[in-house]
Amino acid sequence: MACLLFLAAFPNRSFAVDPSQPFSSYLKTHLTNEDGLPAAVVQDIVQSRDGFLWLIGNGDALTRFDGRHFYTFDQPIHVRTLALAPDGDLWVATRDDLERIPAAALNQFGNLPGVAYRLPKNNSVTCLRFSRNGALWVGTNTGLYRFDGGAFFPAIPGPVIIRLEEASNGHLFAVGSEGFIEWDGSQAVRHPEIAAQLGVEADKVFDVMEDSHGVTWFCTAKGVARRVGGSIDKVEPYGIEGRGALQAYEDPQGSVWIRRANGLYRATGSSEELAVAGIGVNYVYGDHDGDLWIATNGDGLYRFKDRPIRMFTRPDGLPNKVVMTTLTTAEGELWTGANCGGISRFDGRRFQTYNEKDGLANSCVYALAEDTNRDLWIGPTAAAPSASEKAGSPSSRRLRGFPATSSRESSSGAISPFGSRRITASQACAMSRSGHILSPMVCQATIF
């Protein structure tokens, strides 16, 4: 075969949006009114434990999507934002109150049962956030509240809160009419110095988000900046008209997405990749399956997912384009054999190739097999047997050059990629395929 096509070789692997692949390679599904989506404007997305997606359409209607059909509820109405509690309950903020819908009722039709809590006077909810300790935080047009036991307790009174994020230390990052404010658990700490460093007014900082790697992202009217350690770096081009950033979002795979007025971008190191252009993005959400959903301001709903079959070639670590055999071991490891290229092991993203330099007797591999002892058998093409093979006493050699994933080494000094296991290769006996002798020897890789 001229190249290797697979991912179906891993039946338990979900087709999540792979951050190592260009965005243009993903499969796109566009859902509109023709597909049953009740509104072209979608403001919010959250997924419940049963897999349903919950949406807000046209700033008013609560809609449930089961993967095929949309269902819009008559109640509640005037829905503003959503949040899923750690116990699976769905919390819905409306124009007039905050409602809790129990997880057991989320598969029902008609009016959903729930408990409603009246908002403080002259308040409207702008955002909801459950912190990791289970507390519900409510951003409103008059400040930040903690909701507990059916009551609202003020934490940061005064400013309009438009965005809430939680840092790794449990602090809350609130952004709103008075700029970036940090809630440290007992008091509000304002950060006017951040806006000054970024060259914007305080209320032009639109989002502050710390990702899973400890990098803090700042979205401002002039663009995006990152704080790594104590240093803030602006992502170029910064300060150009039309490059303002509204929100940063990290998906379950660890990719950071930047929502701008002119589209959606994926952060790639110190630069960005344009993902979706020419549409107004209201919300970005990564679901349990690794799919990426984009709610738009007038263009419906988009879903992006990885392709179930992907082509891997030399840039992915394969030695050449002629793959003769593949093997998935009992432990789920994928190995390939190439025509005069050696054997390659897939680590989930790339291939690591081993050949004669690493101890293989012959790198032209036509067959792979695993026996009941978890030994890997390698069938190369025909080659002249050595003196020891002619005499019937197999010679032994060890595969070298494996990555150091463990401090344990074999007696010969070779380091194994299998942690506490090690691999040896010995020239043993002949192997046939479809009745044809492939080689007077077979390399056996023994896994301890």
What's the pLDDT tens digit per position in 42-55? 999 999 999 999 99
| Residue 371 per-residue DSSP state | -
Q: Where in the chain is the domain with CATH 2.130.10.10?
A: 17-305
Report, as ranges of residue numbers, the positions in the chain whose pLDDT lies below 70.
1-20, 307-310, 381-448
Phi, psi of 24 (to 5 degrees): -65, -15
Report the pLDDT value the prediction gives residue 385, as an integer from 0 to 100.
41
Please tell me the distance from the alpha carbon of residue 273 to that of residue 292, in angstroms, as a whole number.
15
Angle, CA 306 vertex, CA 303 and CA 309 arms, to 5° = 135
At position 348, the amino acid (one-letter code) is G
Q: What is the pLDDT of residue 115?
A: 94
Instruction: Select from 400, 390, 408, 411 the least CA-distant residue to 445.
Output: 400
Q: Which positions ≥6 away from 151 have C-beta within 8 Å?
A: none
Q: Which amino acid is at 175?
A: V
Amino acid at site 210: E
pTM for the structure as a whole: 0.68
pLDDT of residue 421: 34
As a whole number of angstroms, the distance between CA 231 and CA 246 comes to: 22
Each as own residue / partner, the long-range contacts of residues 202-207 (CB below 8 Å, 24 or more positions apart, any chain) are 202/178, 203/176, 203/177, 203/178, 203/179, 205/175, 205/179, 205/180, 206/162, 206/163, 206/175, 206/244, 206/245, 206/246, 206/247, 207/163, 207/165, 207/175, 207/245, 207/246, 207/247, 207/248
How does pLDDT run across 122-140, given as a tens digit for each residue?
A: 889 999 999 999 999 999 9
State the DSSP code for 198.
H
Stated as kind and residue range, the H or E segment containing 389 is: helix 387-390
The domain 17-305 is placed in CATH, from the list 2.130.10.10, 1.10.3720.10, 3.40.1110.10, 3.30.2310.20, at 2.130.10.10
How far is Cα of residue 278 from the mean position of the Cα atoms in its chain? 24
**C-beta of residue 291 within 8 angstroms of C-beta of residue 55:** no
* DSSP 3-state of 104: helix
Spatial distance between the Cα atoms of 208 and 191, rounded to a whole number of angstroms: 11
Nearest to 56 by CA among 136, 125, 2, 159: 125
Distance CA 371, CA 215 (A): 46
CA torsion, ordered 102, 108, 110, 111, to nearest 10 deg? -10
d(CA 285, CA 292): 6
